[in-house]
Amino acid sequence: MNSKLTMGLTHVFLIIFGLIWIYPFIWMVSSSFKTNASFLTSGSNPIPEELHWENYARAWNVANFSSYFLNSVIITLGTVIIVVLLSCLTGYALGRVDFPGRKTIIVITGALMFIPTGYTIIPLYELMKFLGLSNTIFGVVLAESSGAHVLFILLFAAFFSRVPKEIEEAATIDGSGFLGTFFRVILPSAKPVVATAVIMQFIWTWSSFLIPLVLTLNNPELRTLAVGMLSFVGKYQTDWTGMAAGASISLLPVILIFIIMQRYFIEGISGSVK
């Protein structure tokens, strides 16, 4: 078998299939630059005649995407900070200190991975109502941080358990306490794990739908981009190009972050599967 030919055919297959694969994104971006009239007549032709930026202006101003965007940013940042901080603290204690009860906690943490938490949305909603936090940004952030971040905890624990003891001892001799050693010496060395956790949690929260949908049912002002899109489509049924512009605004940050960090991201995932 001619291996050069096989390789060439493989590339042809991968390129054609890859184009089909990302066509929905190309379609979305190109539609966002068309007029509604040319959108309906141009069919599958992805190239717009001229760039109509006003679709973006309409989505941003008229359809409230500016405030949806801000809500998404605040909720995502809040959740990322809480989740990454909590899981790195827990991971350090588990990976570094052999305290009584450590094994029990590790076993429970591992078992949690298999407890389905997807159906807890009703009690979460009632809890937020009880705490007076429904229809507040803080309530959404808290609910978003609720999942068991077993994956991150285990990643941090594994990383911290490999940090040489000498580093910690040297810091202690220099008069650094437990807390100081952790924040000044140990944590900075964990940058790759922190980056992985930040990116993964960012993408999860940015794309989250059910929790923000339910917790902002009575306060449309607090909608995130994903939830706002749904109401946009319901309200402006015929404004396809405005819809495409809104979708582009919603997906752009997450796609950019992914493309910039894709090495970290894909490796982080495959590392955790092992």
Q: Which of residues 144-173 bind other proteins (CB under 8 A)?
A: 145-149, 153
**How far is C-alpha 177 from the chain's CA centre?**
34
Residue whose CB is less far from other proteins, 21 or 53: 21
Q: Segment near other proteins (CB under 8 A), from 49-57, 59-67, 190-198, 226-234? A: 226-234
Q: For the window 195-214, what string marks contact with other proteins as x by the rule CB under 8 A?
A: --------x--xx-xx---x
* Counts of helices then strands in the chain (DSSP H, E): 15, 0
Site for other proteins in 63-122 (CB under 8 A): 82, 85-87, 89-90, 92-94, 96-97, 99-100, 102, 105, 112, 114-122
Please choose, from the candidates 144, 153, 252, the residue with its C-alpha nearest in 3D space to the C-alpha of residue 196: 153
Interface residue with other proteins among 12, 21, 61, 103 (CB under 8 A) is: 21
Largest CA distance in the chain: 75
Minimum distance from residue 127 beta carbon to other proteins (Å): 7
User: In whole angstroms, what is the distance from residue 247 CA to residue 229 CA?
Assistant: 7
Residue whose CB is less far from other proteins, 117 or 219: 117
Minimum distance from residue 189 beta carbon to other proteins (Å): 17
Q: What share of the chain is helix, strand, coil (3-state, %, to 5)?
A: 80, 0, 20
Minimum distance from residue 125 beta carbon to other proteins (Å): 8
User: In whole angstroms, what is the distance from residue 261 CA to residue 253 CA?
Assistant: 12
Interface residue with other proteins among 14, 70, 111, 170 (CB under 8 A) is: 14
Q: Segment near other proteins (CB under 8 A), from 22-30, 56-64, 133-141, 186-194? A: 22-30
Minimum distance from residue 247 beta carbon to other proteins (Å): 5
User: In whole angstroms, what is the distance from residue 109 CA to residue 86 CA?
Assistant: 14
222 interacts with other proteins by CB under 8 A = no
Residue whose CB is less far from other proteins, 43 or 175: 43
Please choose, from the candidates 114, 64, 50, the residue with its C-alpha nearest in 3D space to the C-alpha of residue 236: 64
Q: From its phi and psi, is residue 43 left (phi > 0), alpha (psi between -120 and 50) or beta?
A: left
